[in-house]
Amino acid sequence: MLTIPGLCWLCQMPLACAHWGICSRCSYALPAPPPCCPRCGLPCAYRHTPCGRCLQEPPAWDSMLFVTDYCLPLNRLVQRFKFNATVALAPALARLILLRVLDAKRQPLWQKPDCMVSVPLHSRRAWRRGFNQSDLLANCLARWLQCDYFPKGIRRIRAGQSQHQLNARMRRNNLKGAFRVDFPVAGRHIIIVDDVVTTGSTVAEIARLLKKQGAATIQVWCLCRTL
């Protein structure tokens, strides 16, 4: 019997490898971000050296890796994944991050991670949604990279308001005391996985906790960085 080929989530054309989820043509056609600071992920003059913002006031993490800006067509896939419970998108979206990771591994300053954690949801929000989108992405990446993954390594112990409804200052206040670290951190090179980084308040709060407990380095990996 003939098997039914998988279709690309973007162009709906048959895939040579069904498990890819997004064809190579659509992957290459994703809008390339402008030169961005390797630390904060925001636009700057040179992509391989920290920007002036990071030299004056560096973020709590050490580097950031992302696929593209929060724009078409990837933002629609992220919304479908996150708000329409299309969990079948997880491997396809995680693969886009993996391609960026494999490209970054060619850089001389690449730091191999020891372990990986995902940005958690509060238990009530996770129950309502039925899944944590960052956990699904991290699960795929950890398996492919053969990296230790602690799915409950970071716990959200205080719910707070939904972040996308708040401005930058309110986001920072909303996250104070919201997280708890539940895995051995000291001396480890740690990856924080998220779907979208907007102001960076969430990953910054988690990174501060990890650094306080002795993390050696912290990288942030995400699908989209709002530029």
Question: Regarding predicted confidence, which is higher, 169 or 114?
Answer: 114
Q: Please, which pLDDT band fits residue 126 given cuts at 50, 70 and 90? A: confident
Residue 38 DSSP symbol: T
160 neighbors 174 (Cβ within 8 angstroms): yes
Question: Regarding predicted confidence, which is higher, 191 or 178?
Answer: 191
**Mean pLDDT value across the chain:** 90
Ranges 15-24, 124-133, 169-178, 206-215: which has the least confidence:
169-178
Q: Please, which pLDDT band fits residue 4 given cuts at 50, 70 and 90? A: low
Place of tokens 């996250």: 175
- 3-class secondary structure for 169-216? HHHHHHHCCCEEECCCCCCCEEEEEEEEECCCHHHHHHHHHHHHCCCC
Residue 159 DSSP symbol: -
Angle, helices 168-175 vs 201-212, to 10°: value is 40
The tokens for 95 are 């693969």
Helix or strand (DSSP H, E) at 136 = helix 133-145
Per-residue pLDDT reduced to its tens digit, 69-101: 999 999 999 999 999 999 999 999 999 999 999
Per-residue pLDDT reduced to its tens digit, 139-149: 999 999 999 99
The tokens for 20 are 């890819």
**Torsion sign (Cα): 187, 91, 195, 27:** positive
d(CA 218, CA 63): 7
Q: What is the pLDDT of residue 108?
A: 64
When pLDDT is averaged across residues 212-223 and rounded to a whole number, the result is 97
Question: Regarding predicted confidence, which is higher, 173 or 54?
Answer: 54
Question: Regarding predicted confidence, which is higher, 220 or 48?
Answer: 220
Per-residue pLDDT reduced to its tens digit, 9-21: 999 999 988 889 9
Contacts of 148 (CB under 8 A, 6+ apart): 114, 115, 116, 142
Given a cut of 50, is residue 223 above it in pLDDT?
yes
Count how many Cα atoms sit within 13 Å of the Cα of residue 58 in the half-sphere of its side chain: 13
**Over the Cα atoms of the chain, what is R_g?**
17
Measured CA distances, 23 to 7, 14, 96, 191, 218 (Å): 8, 8, 11, 27, 31
Given a cut of 70, is residue 160 above it in pLDDT?
no
220 neighbors 168 (Cβ within 8 angstroms): no
